[in-house]
Structure 1
Amino acid sequence: MPKKGNRKRLKFKAGDVCCESVTVADFANADPAVVKSGRVKKAVANAIEKEVKLLCGLEASQGAVEEVLSSASSVRADAVGSSDDPEDDEGESETKVARKKKTKRKKESSESSDGEDYPVDIWLMLSSYIRPEDVYRFSLICKNAWTVTCTAAFWTRLYRRHYRVEVDLPFRLQPDSIDRMRCLRACVIRSLFHLYEPFSLRVSKNPALPESTPTTLLNSTCFLFWVKKLSGTRPEALWEFNFKFKKQGHFKNGCAKSLHLPKQYEEVHMNPDSDCCVLQVTTLNYIFIPVVMGLTLTLFTINVSTDMRHHRVRLVFQDSPLQRGKKRGDQGGTQVVLDPVHSVKLMDWWHPLYPSLPYI
């Protein structure tokens, strides 16, 4: 076999190794074969042991030195004893390189063949035992598991498993309405926030006024607005101002998701309100609002009112979205100030109180 270049090799002698003769250059120019294998030659080990015993004393250092040297000179079970001949070392290193390449090829082939490809029917059967909050994790197991979550059978079974007659559901979420394919997934998710206790508790714990101003509405476009008069136990009526926003789509690196829905299940996943949310502000008095439909929200604040008894909501709309890196548009644009405010709610499309027809 041809030798590798004219690489200079270091030959270690027991007499050359001591605390004065060991330098950084010795380790910098060390033989790669020795460094890669992690083995220490016996002559070098004996010289180091002798030097340590002379410095520390034979009686005190014997145990510690043996422990250090044994860990430094440990060799794998299939390794062969080292030789002082450079040609033998080179042949041994060549054999180890070939063995490592062969092991790497075996490992790559075994990795590519690992795993079992189970049919979709198996995943559909397992999906009957998945909790609603674990649907996302289940879909990440493999492509077949994700395909199951796209089917109408999966969402229909999920609805029937949690349906309860005693729960008062809206008409659009009744079992008769669930039988149709169109927007099936959205209807089932909305129903779970009425039927499934962990989801309903999550919504009921939301306070009347958020602890901090929501920032998810920034750069969203308002495409619908309506006012509703509320009559209740209060002697004075409350006024409900509703702003429906369309959020900007979020794509990674400017591209859509790599997985595409099966064509036969596109109607199941259809949801016109997927990127929509409704900001509902209830006030004690009626307030005139300028036309904001078609404008983009650039500022949203909730502060304490001037009388220190209520809250004040301020919205600023611009003709175009706010550019990245620029300050929020405090000045200019169309401003909407609601004061005094009784409650503020930001509802996503799956919220139980998300308004339906005729308002949307």
Structure 2
Amino acid sequence: MPKGGHGPKSKKSGRKNKVTVVTADFTVNDFADCPRPQACSRLKKSIASRSNLGVIPKALAESAKREDDLDWFEKDLEDFVIKDDVEEQEEDQATSKASSHKTRKKNNSESECSRRTYPEDLWHILADYIDPEDIGSFAGICHGTHQVTYLSSFWRKLYKRYYQEQPGLPEHVKPTSMERLHGLRARVIRALFVVYPPLAERVQSKGPMEDEPHSLKGYRCLVMWHQPGLKGWQFCFKFQRPTLDTLSSRRASKMDVYHGFNDLCYNPEAGCSVLQVTCCHFSSDAAVMGLLLTQVYVTLSTGFRHHRLRLHFDTRVTNSHNSPCDNVVVLDDVVSIRIFKWWHPSYPFIH
């Protein structure tokens, strides 16, 4: 009765097929009466010489077929198919070709979009129909629209479009203040927060405690003062956002002086805000000019009728809430907290 035996496994890497020699000359006695179990997989030279070599190719095919029918837990690690390096290289080449095709297509689309340039006259015409709250979006469309917003004619037309003569307007809003070129952009923006209804509602609809003093963290206190108000005492702090502008080593020239007196975007109050705190009673506080605001705490006062504001100042910005600080300003019985940006109508510093 023919039996099949498995030969020794090959030690080479990759997938290796087991060679199974099946002949009709093998007897049961060769397996059952074997003196050692380890010798069951080896054949005697006399038996191997009597084997029919013509049966070996057919036995190999049948053995490979039986191995494919085995379950995964009956196979050895070497029986599993491992992807060849050639197939991996072909897949990598296909992936690189697809990515290069996408990159080429994207570059072509970007080059087509970059070639689409409109004349500057078109942006000058469209600028007459831009609302004040959409100027930032209009300036970010392209280089041409950005240059339009740096023209004095753009800001003068914008001012004349919404200005209406009203009694009680401040002097910096009237047309006489728009004749000077120096700082024209800042004056037009301040005037729009007075004469343009959508912007005027933004600064007038806030309540006494709606402003967030936490937004001033990291700002530097330039000036502090106090003055009597209608409901008590007003304590004011002028803050400026710190900048990282580097000093230029270039020498100044006569043209720098000329452009300095004709600078459309001149605004020394840019990045400045005024914190106005109204208290029922007067309190003396330490001077904190030149220091940075590090922490802000708004809590209830002792009688639970008003609020208490505590401001921590330091020479540098600290992230820890428990860091020691000697410069603390405590304002008790707070009635209102207001923050005035440089464009607010109630901002006290106007140039």
Shorter chain as denominator, the TM-score bin is 0.5 to 0.7
- Does the 8 Å contact 1:243/1:279 carry over to 2? yes
- Does the 8 Å contact 1:245/1:277 carry over to 2? yes
- Does the 8 Å contact 1:316/1:336 carry over to 2? yes
Tell me the distance in 1 between the aligned counterparts of 2:307 and 2:155: 42
**Aligned twin of 1:229:** 228
- Does the 8 Å contact 2:296/2:312 carry over to 1? yes
**Aligned twin of 2:289:** 293
Query: Which amino acid is the alignment partner of residue 288 of structure 1?
Result: S
**Aligned twin of 1:245:** 239
Tell me, which stretches of 5 or more residues in structure 2 are unaligned?
1-64, 73-79, 248-257
Alignment match of 2:317 (pick from 316, 322, 335): 322
Evaluate the alpha carbon distance shift between residue 34 and residue 136 of structure 1 in structure 2; reply closer, same or farther with a 3 A threshold: same
Alignment match of 2:87 (pick from 22, 30, 34): 30
Query: Which amino acid is the alignment partner of residue 209 of structure 1?
Result: M
Tell me the distance in 1 between the aligned counterparts of 2:88 and 2:325: 72
SS in 2 for 1:225: strand
Tell me the distance in 1 between the aligned counterparts of 2:138 and 2:311: 40
Tell me the distance in 2 between the aligned counterparts of 1:245 and 1:167: 32
Q: Deviations over 1:193-243 (max 9, x none)?
A: 1122221222222220137x5322222221112222124xxxxx5211111
Evaluate the alpha carbon distance shift between residue 24 and residue 161 of structure 1 in structure 2; reply closer, same or farther with a 3 A threshold: farther
Query: Following superposition of structure 1 onto structure 2, how do residues 6-17 of structure 1 map, counting pairs within 5 Å?
Result: none
Compare CA radii of gyration and give the structure with the larger one: 2
**Aligned twin of 2:195:** 195
SS in 1 for 2:145: helix
Tell me the distance in 2 between the aligned counterparts of 1:350 and 1:201: 13
Q: Deviations over 1:120-176 (max 9, x none)?
A: 232121111111111111111111110111111111111111112136432112111
Q: Deviations over 1:254-312 (max 9, x none)?
A: 99xxxxxxx96971111111111000011111211222222222222211110110111
- Does the 8 Å contact 2:213/2:275 carry over to 1? no
- Does the 8 Å contact 2:278/2:337 carry over to 1? yes
1:312 aligns with 2:291: no
**Aligned twin of 1:9:** none
**1:29 shift after superposition:** 5.4
**1:186 shift after superposition:** 1.1
Evaluate the alpha carbon distance shift between residue 183 and residue 28 of structure 1 in structure 2; reply closer, same or farther with a 3 A threshold: same
Tell me the distance in 2 between the aligned counterparts of 1:291 and 1:141: 46
Q: Aligned pairs, how many?
A: 269
- Does the 8 Å contact 1:218/1:298 carry over to 2? yes
**Aligned twin of 1:155:** 155
Tell me the distance in 1 between the aligned counterparts of 2:88 and 2:323: 68
Alignment match of 1:277 (pick from 240, 261, 273): 273
Q: Deviations over 1:68-104 (max 9, x none)?
A: xxxxxxxxxxxxxxxxxxxxxxxxxxxxx7x998997
**Aligned twin of 1:52:** none
Tell me the distance in 1 between the aligned counterparts of 2:269 and 2:343: 9
- Identity percentage over the alignment? 34
TM-score for both structures, normalised by structure 2: 0.65
Tell me the distance in 2 between the aligned counterparts of 1:34 and 1:307: 76
Q: CA RMSD in A?
A: 3.8
TM-score for both structures, normalised by structure 1: 0.63
